Amino acid sequence: ATRLVARLRHVHGRVSKLRASLASDAGWGVQRDSGDTRVLYQAHASGCLRIRVDTQVDAPLYDLLALLREVQLWHKWIPSLGGLGLSEAEELGRTSILNMCFRARIALPWPIQDRVCTFAVDGVDCMNAEDAPQQVLVLLDSGDAQQSCPFSLEARPIKGKFVALEMIESGIIITPAEVAGTAHTLFQIIAVVDPKMFVPKWLVNLAIRNLCFLIAVQIQRAAAVTRKPAHLARTMDPENSFYAFIRRRMAESLP
């Protein structure tokens, strides 16, 4: 019981901090703004990169969650640019419907070694009226990876040369249009990463001004991407407990 209470307090604190981080533009520098998509950056004294994307997506909440959940299909829609991009991604395991552990390998321009990030993916259902504003949150953090994996992460060694990349107190907030007061669903992400290196300005520009913007454009195509056979085989599976849960919660919480 004590561990459960501590875990709930930890999650509550993460939710509050994530909401506060995305509620204001204070301290953020806008790197690119197309009207319905903004990419922002914040330098940090620790050397961590703080990246934020706000975009409006004309797609149902269900499709957005499917886009994020199917980690094995990320390579089908996440773009690459100038040698920078996703090499592979996988789910290592899960401890519940909403608590998973993912691993992603990121290719960087030569001669920089690949980065590998192992991180917890913890869904938080804030769709009840008392949780106002009604939102779906996804907490991302390398520090919680082992808690969201049912076996030792050491049992899944990583092949090839790489440098471990840490994701810290990051996350995603998805807010329905009627709650956000926007034309379409508001999709916001903040990624705080320790790249384990000095990042030259040209690489920051490539990653933030260009690649992050292209990823946001692809997220805006969520409805089209998740209607393809590879996604439908998973999202329409009546035995899939995750999508059965999502359908039930949407029926209960959305008008």
pLDDT above 70 (res 1): no
Q: In terms of pLDDT, which residue wins out, 36 or 207?
A: 36
What is the distance between the alpha carbons of residues 143 and 157, in angstroms, rounded to a whole number?
17
Global pTM reads 0.91
Q: Which residues contact 72 (CB under 8 A, 6 or more apart)?
A: 89, 90, 91
At position 195, the amino acid (one-letter code) is: P
Confidence of residue 96 (pLDDT cuts 50, 70, 90): very high
Please give the pLDDT value at position 159: 83
Q: What is the mean pLDDT of the chain?
A: 88
pLDDT above 90 (res 198): no
Give me the mean pLDDT over the 142-168 stretch. 88
Q: Which residues contact 112 (CB under 8 A, 6 or more apart)?
A: 197, 203
Of 113, 137, 134, whose CA–CA distance to 123 is shortest?
137
Work out whether strand 37-43 and strand 185-194 pair parallel, antiparallel, or are unpaired: unpaired
Residue appearing with tokens 């454009």: 217
Q: In terms of pLDDT, which residue wins out, 142 or 204?
A: 142
HEC string of 171-234?
EEEEECHHHHCCCCEEEEEEEEEECCCCCCHHHHHHHHHHHHHHHHHHHCCHHHHCCCHHHHHH
Please give the pLDDT value at position 243: 93
Structure confidence by residue, pLDDT tens digits, 228-252: 999 999 999 999 999 999 999 888 8
